[in-house]
Amino acid sequence: MSQDPHSPGNEEKKRRFSLFGGRSREEKEAEKEAKRQAELDRKAEKEARRLAEKQAKEDEKRRRLEEKARRKGKLPPPSAEPLSFEPVVPESPKAPEAPVTPPPVAEPPKAPQPVAPSAPPPVAEPPKAPPPPVPPAPPVASPPPAAKPEPQPAPEAPKPPPPAPPKVEFAKPEPAKPEVAPPPPVADWAPPPVMPRPEAPAPEVAPAPPAQAGDKAPLEPPVQTPVQEPVQEKTVPAPAAPLPPSDAPPPAEAAQEGPKDGETPKEGEAAKEGEESEEEEQKSWLRRLFDALARSSGRLAQGIVDLFAKRKLDDDTLQELEDLLITADMGVETSARLCTALAKERFGKHVPPEEVKAVLAEEIADILEPVAKPLEIDRKAKPHVVLVVGVNGAGKTTTIGKLARYFKRQGRTVSMAAGDTFRAAAVEQLKVWGGRTACHVFARETGADAASLAFDAYTEAQNYGDDVLLIDTAGRLQNKVGLMEELKKIVRVLRKVDESAPHTCLLVLDATVGQNAHSQVETFRDMIEVNGLVMTKLDGTARGGVIVALADRFGLPIHALGVGEKIDDLRPFKARDFANSLMGLDEKSAGLLGGGKE
C-alpha cells in the first residue's frame, strides 16, 4: 500500500529531518556536483597558469639566446623592428597587449606567420584576441609588467630567426669528437707490434763497437793539439835546433799511444764502476732483506739474549731454545737438529748470545745451501716454459712481472700468458706488468679455457722465438680436487707440443701462512711435479723460519725471495745472506759485505 508523500505523517518526518540539519539526496548530489565543477575549474586555472609560465620562460630563453647571438655578431641588431612595434604597443591598451603575446604561442596555423611582419596584421590580430583571452588572460597579465621595458619586443621580433640559433650551437662541438675518437684505437693496438722482441738484443750489441770507435776519435785531436803547443813553446828557448824535432816524435808517439793505453784503464775503470755498482746493489738488497726479516730476527735475537745472558748451556736452556725455534716456524725436527749442533763442544759452558746466533746461522746456512739455486733457463728450449702456480693471494701475478724484469735484464726475450681467466683483474694486472717490463702479454676473454690459452701462448712464443714464456694460473686451494685437475690438464696440453714442458713448475708460497706451507708444497708436488719454490711477503710476517723447515723436509730448490712490492724486490735466494738476516746478525758480525763463509 503506497503512502501519499503529502500525508501528515510524511510532512512531519520532513519537518523533523530539516530541524535536525538533515539534507535530502538531491541536495547532496547537487553539492557534490558543485564541488566537482569547482575542482575542475581550479585545475583548469592551474593548468592555464602553468602554460603561461612555461611560455614566459621559453620567451625569456629565446630572448637571451638572440641577445647572445647579437653580441657575437651572428644576428643583425633589431633597429627597425622595435620601432615598428613600439607604435603598435601604445596604440592598443594593456588589455590587447596581453593577447598580442599569446597569439604567437597559439600560431599552429602557418598562414598567419608571413602576415605577422607586415603592417596590416595588427588589424587582423584583434579579431583573434577575443576568443583566447578568457583562459590565458589572467596568467599573461602578470608577466608583461615585469618584462615591459625591453624583453617583450625582443622575443617578438626575432621569432623569424629561430633557425639562426641552431647555426650558433653546432658545428664546433662535432669536430672535437672525431679528434678524441681516433687516438684510442691506435693506443689499444700499440702493444701487438711490441711482440716481436727478438730484434732487441741485436741493437744492444751493435752500438758497443761504434761507441769505442767514437771514443778513440775524440780523444786523439784534443791530446795532439795541447801536446804540440807546449812542445813548440819549449823549443823556442832551446838553443839546439835538432833536439826539438828528435824529441818531438816520441811525445807524438806517446800521444798516439796514450789513447791506446788509456783505453784499457777506461775499460778497467768501467769494470770497476760496474763492480762497485753491483756491490752497492748487493748492499742495498742485503739491507732490505735484513729489514724484511726484522720481525722474525727480532723475536729470535731477543729470545736468545734472554736465555744466554747469564746462563750456561744445559738441558733446560737447550729445551727452551728448541721451543723458541719452533715458535719461529722452523719445525720440530729442524729445531732439534740446530740445538744438537749448538751443544757440541759447548755443553755446560757459558756461551755468549752473539756466538749462539752465529752458530745457528752457520747451521741454517748449511741446511739451505743445497736448495739455494737460481732459476736457470734451458737454452735448447724455445721457449723455456715457466708455469707459476699457488693458492689465492700468494702473489703469483706479481712474481711473474718481477721474473720478467729479471730475465729482461739478462738480455732474454720474454712473453707472458694471462692464464688466470677467472679473475678479470688478473689479466689487467698482468698487462700492467707487461707494459712496465716491455713484454708481450697473451690474453683472452674472462672465463676462457686456461689449457687452450696456454697452448696458443706457447705456439705464439715459439713462432716469435721468445726465450722464456711465463704462464700465470688461477689461485686454488690445495684441497680443491677439481681445480687441481685443471692444472694437470694444462700440463698435459703443453706436453702435446713439447714433451719436456713445462720446464719449470714454480710454486709461489706466502710466508704469512706459516706451517700451512708444508701441505701446499706436498699437494702441488704430488699433483703437477712442482720443481721450484718462490717465497713472497717476507717483509710482512714473523714466520720467516718456515723456509728452513721446507728446505730440510722437501729439498726442493728455492729460486727467489720477495721482500716488497717494488719491481726489484724479488732476488735470487742466497742461503748465507738469508741465514744471517734471520738470526739478526749485523753486517760487521756476519760479514755480509764480503766476509764470512761462502
Q: Which residues are annotated as a binding site?
A: 390-397, 472-476, 536-539
The DSSP line for 57-68 is HHHHHHHHHHHH
Q: Are the beta carbons of 293 and 544 closer than 8 angstroms? A: yes
Query: Cα 196 from chain centroid?
Result: 25
What per-residue string of b and e applies to 138-172 under the rule 16 or more CB within 10 Å gives b?
ebbeebbeebeeebbbbbbbbeebeeebeeeeeee
End-to-end alpha carbon distance in the chain: 132
Three-class DSSP category at 186: helix
In 107-262, beta strands by DSSP E: none
Residue 419 CB neighbours (<10 A): 31
Residue list, annotated binding site for GTP = 390-397, 472-476, 536-539
For 425, residues 6+ apart whose C-beta sits below 8 A from its C-beta are: none
Element (H, E) at 362: helix 353-368
Q: Which amino acid is at 35?
A: K
Distance CA 519, CA 505 (A): 17
Which has the closest alpha carbon to 437: 489, 399, 380?
A: 399
| 552: three-class secondary structure by DSSP | helix
Pairing of strands 504-510, 468-471: unpaired
Of 414, 416, 422, which is closest to residue 382 (Cα–Cα)?
414
Q: Which amino acid is residue 419, in one-letter code?
A: G
Nearest to 197 by CA among 433, 461, 506, 491: 461
Retrieve residue 497's grid coordinates: 707440443
The answer to whether 500 and 513 are in contact (CB under 8 A) is no
CA distance 251 to 248: 6
Q: How far apart are CA 307 and CA 300, in angstroms?
A: 11
For residue 57, give Cα distances in angstroms to 28, 52, 140: 43, 9, 12
Instruction: Give strand pairing partners of 387.
Output: 471, 505
Determine the residue type at 447: G
d(CA 370, CA 81): 101
Residue 196's DSSP bridge partners are none
Burial class (CB in 10 A: 0-12, 13-18, 19+), 81: middle
Residues 6+ apart with CB under 8 A from 369: 575, 576
